[in-house]
Amino acid sequence: MEKKVLVTGADGFIGSHLVEHLLQKGYAVRAFVLYNSFNSNGWLDSLPKGLLAKIELFAGDIRDPNGVRLAMQDIDTVYHLAALIAIPYSYHSPDSYVDVNIKGTLNVLQAARLLNTKRVIITSTSEVYGTAQYVPIDEKHPYQGQSPYSATKIGADRLAESFYRSFEMPVTIVRPFNTYGPRQSARAIIPTIITQLLNGCREIKLGDLSPTRDLLFVKDTVRGFEMIANSDKTIGEEINIASQSEISIGDLAKNIIAKIQPDAKIITEEIRLRPDKSEVKRLFGSNEKIKALTGWTPEVDLENGIKETISWFSEKENLKLYKHSEYTI
């Protein structure tokens, strides 16, 4: 029998890629998408029609415990990705991050306990570590809530740990580092650079250029999710998915500029700067644990990942979905 899985946040960037990957691997996929009056399934609507027809769509709200419980009926594995993720937006609307990221995760955990779900995959973020106190950052690194967003993700992670320890729930906390690729949100750094360049801008507006990030192509990220979910060794563990490398925002921008519009210049725009104590200055993750437990290794290097991402954004139908002239928080 094919394994039946639920992906929450399936309409988003990583979620849509995970759904696509799992379908191609032969899973029966139920996709939890945010209910809306536009009948939009987010990025899932961009999948080939033949693939989209194979998805069992469930429209709801992760904040609603009844809807979450209904969505998780008869599910073997739940991949919980639904979250609010924009850091700047969390500065002025932290309540909504508590509701979605903490209470939403609690709803998934409570439903899984009631339904005896076989595997529960909770999505964390490298932001829970804050600025690196040592590198590479392994799973024993201290947590530091440098934004309301990261604080709520720390809270959600600790709830997940408590359900593993209190109820022997088969939970794994998966912690991707800086995932990028086609369909990524306009608020992320790589789409910000690419969309400005492809629209002919000669001055690329960015924030702080000094922070470093551990960049991971989305296909490697979702492959890591599946491998973690399929290993009994990962139950009760917190596991990074990282490239175990780093690049500064400035060097990343120069790399992309050289590929698209070599004469473009970078300017710093005040509105794009985080408060100094909130900016995560360095992210450089260890992938030793995921390698040891699952055999996963990254397959797409930064050069090829950036090329594939630029190629996707270069298609007119995709580029027009992004408002390059507006700063999106």
Using one digit for the tens of pLDDT, what is the confidence trace for 85-136?
A: 999 999 999 999 999 999 999 999 999 999 999 999 999 999 999 999 999 9
User: Is residue 164 domain-shared with residue 253, that is, in the same domain?
Assistant: no
Is residue 329, in this structure, part of any structural domain at all?
no
Asked if 227 contacts 295 with a C-beta cutoff of 8 angstroms, the reply is yes
Verify that 101 and 223 share a domain, yes or no: yes
> Would 142 be classed as within a structural domain?
yes
Domain of residue 163, residue span: 4-181+214-241
The answer to whether residue 236 is domain-embedded is yes
Clarify whether residues 148 and 111 are in a common domain: yes
**What span, in angstroms and rounded, lies between the C-alpha atoms of 296 and 321?**
33
Instruction: Verify that 219 and 104 share a domain, yes or no.
Output: yes
Q: Is residue 225 part of a domain?
A: yes
Q: Is there a domain that residue 256 lies in?
A: yes
Q: Which residues of the chain have pLDDT under 50?
A: none
Q: Which residues of 215-228 are buried (b: 16+ CB within 10 A; e: fewer)?
A: bbbbbbbbbbbbbb
**pLDDT at position 88:** 94
CATH number of the domain to which 163 belongs? 3.40.50.720
Domain total in the chain = 2
Residue 122 lies in a domain: yes
**Residue 310 and residue 161 share a domain:** no
| 268 shares its domain with 128 | no
The answer to whether residues 171 and 260 belong to one domain is no
d(CA 256, CA 197): 9
186 CB-near residues (< 8 Å, 6+ apart): 192, 195, 322, 323, 328
The answer to whether residue 48 is domain-embedded is: yes
Q: Which of 10, 118, 110 is nearest to 68 (CA)?
A: 110
Look-up: residue for tokens 């360049």?
197
Tokens of 32: 């939890």
Domain of 281, CATH number, reads 3.90.25.10
Q: Is the peptide bond before 136 cis (omega within 30 degrees of 0)?
A: yes
326 domain-assigned: no
Same-domain pairing of 22 and 120 = yes
pLDDT digits (tens, 9 = 90+) for 177-202: 999 999 999 889 999 999 999 999 99
pLDDT at 325: 84
Same domain (yes/no): 89, 201: no
User: Based on the domain organization, do 81 and 136 belong to the same domain?
Assistant: yes
Q: What is the pLDDT of residue 2?
A: 76
Return the pLDDT at 1. 53
170 shares its domain with 295:
no
295 and 227 in a common domain: no
